[in-house]
Amino acid sequence: MNHNQQANPNPTNSEMESKTILTPRTTELTDSQRDQLTSQFVELVVDQMDVKTLVQIVTDNLIDYHNEGSFDELKEAVICFQDEDLYDELVENITT
C-alpha cells in the first residue's frame, strides 16, 4: 500500500500554525531561579529512576567524595561511621 500525499497549496491559518517552528525560550534567570529550576528538574529525574540506578549514583558520588580528600580524612570518616575496628577490617580486606 502506497500513500502519496502532497501539501495543500492554499493552507488555512490553522494548517500554517501547525507548521510553525517552535523556538526555545531564552529567558534569563537569576541564580536563585536557576537553582529552583535545577531542583525541580532533578526531582523529576530522580522520581523516574529505579532503586538500582539511585544506588549506583549515590555509590559513585560517595566514592568520588571520599577520594577527593586526604587519606587521613578517609580514615576519620570510616572511624566516625562506625569505629576503628571497621577501619582495621577494611584495610585487612585489601592488604591480605
What are 40-64's pLDDT values in tens digits? 999 999 999 999 999 999 999 999 9
Write down the mean pLDDT value for the chain: 87
For residue 4, pLDDT over 90 is answered with no
Q: Are 78 and 87 in contact (CB under 8 A)?
A: yes
pTM score of the predicted model: 0.58
Q: Which residue has the higher pLDDT, 67 or 12?
A: 67
For residue 85, pLDDT over 90 is answered with yes
Q: Which residue, chain included where needed, has cell 549514583?
A: 57
Tell me the C-alpha distance between 28 and 84, whole Å: 51
H, E, C per residue of 23-83: CCCCCCCCHHHHHHHHHHHHHHHHHCCCHHHHHHHHHHHHHHHHHHCCHHHHHHHHHHHCC
For 93, the grid coordinates are 580486606
Percent of the chain with pLDDT over 90: 70
pLDDT tier at 84 (50, 70, 90 boundaries)? very high
pLDDT tier at 27 (50, 70, 90 boundaries)? confident
Q: Name the residue type at position 64.
A: D
SS3 (DSSP) at 12? coil
